[in-house]
Structure 1
């Protein structure tokens, strides 16, 4: 009987882990890691890898489809931080974190992302890659709770 109880407890723990975790393969070059263990339902802190739904902006749909796969980025700004821009330099709390490009590789206009105080429940998700498609552009913008999937831990 103890064996059955132990197996049931183990199964319950595994199911709970499965309900709150996932693996993500990052197919883009925007991050140095290509595999992440994702803990779902957690709000990211500054510096955390974050996994989110990119939304349905026409530029996102054109390049990633009507049902795009989740994006993985780094949390560069959290609620209350201030995003500013001087020329093509995007800053969070005065620190330059990215530079804007005027157009995609295909020549489409890239509109700059939001400025000002990051609202409650939202983050600035970015990438160290110069061609990163992230919160620096309006097509992604601030990423709020309704699009957040969880935080990621690089594993490969």
Structure 2
């Protein structure tokens, strides 16, 4: 049997329950609202990118838009509409994912088929595509402000080493990728 003080405590707990339930419900609603707002904001600047090419070891990247890449970052970009790009990837090609080997101020040079950034080999040139089309070497010199030199270690990489892509600048940059798979 309950004592008088225990009975009083039980009545107080019951009296607070509707208020506590309302408070908990409001807290869950507010947390959910702000959680959804955060998720919506995150969705505006992030995406999952599936890399279907063999040029990178990772096939899935979490991409953050609006951040300029640093040297060594994975980068996702619009490859542009050069005739060779359109011929192989269509009139509206999907974004490319590569590595930012050169950033503004870096120096791109060539020595025979070797492509160098600041004196370090980052890629090799091929004279022809797999289909036998001529590949024109890409730009050399200082990487301009707002641009990057994007390439991959793959021997068949189609990237800034060729003029059809060249330096990737400004509005062509989509975002920086973090490998997830």
TM-score for both structures, normalised by structure 1: 0.98
Q: Deviations over 1:71-118 (max 9, x none)?
A: 000010000000111111111001111110000000000000001000
Q: Which runs of 5+ in 1 are unaligned?
A: none
1:118 to 2:143 alignment = yes
Structure 2 counterpart of 1:19? 44
In structure 2, how many angstroms separate the alpha carbons of the residues matched to 1:110 and 1:35? 28
In structure 2, how many angstroms separate the alpha carbons of the residues matched to 1:54 and 1:21? 19
1:74 to 2:88 alignment = no
Count of residue pairs brought into register by the alignment? 156
TM superposition outliers: structure 1 runs of 4+ over 6 Å: none
Query: What is the aligned-residue RMSD (CA, Å)?
Result: 0.7
User: Which protein has the bigger strand share?
Assistant: 1
In structure 2, how many angstroms separate the alpha carbons of the residues matched to 1:34 and 1:3? 37
Relative contact order, higher structure (CA 8 A, sep 6+) = 1
Q: Which runs of 5+ in 2 are unaligned?
A: 1-25
In structure 1, how many angstroms separate the alpha carbons of the residues matched to 2:179 and 2:115? 25
Instruction: Return the offset for 1:3.
Output: 2.5
In structure 2, how many angstroms separate the alpha carbons of the residues matched to 1:127 and 1:53? 16
User: Which protein has the bigger helix share?
Assistant: 2
In structure 2, how many angstroms separate the alpha carbons of the residues matched to 1:3 and 1:61? 51
Structure number with larger C-alpha Rg:
2
Match of 1:54 among 64, 67, 79: 79
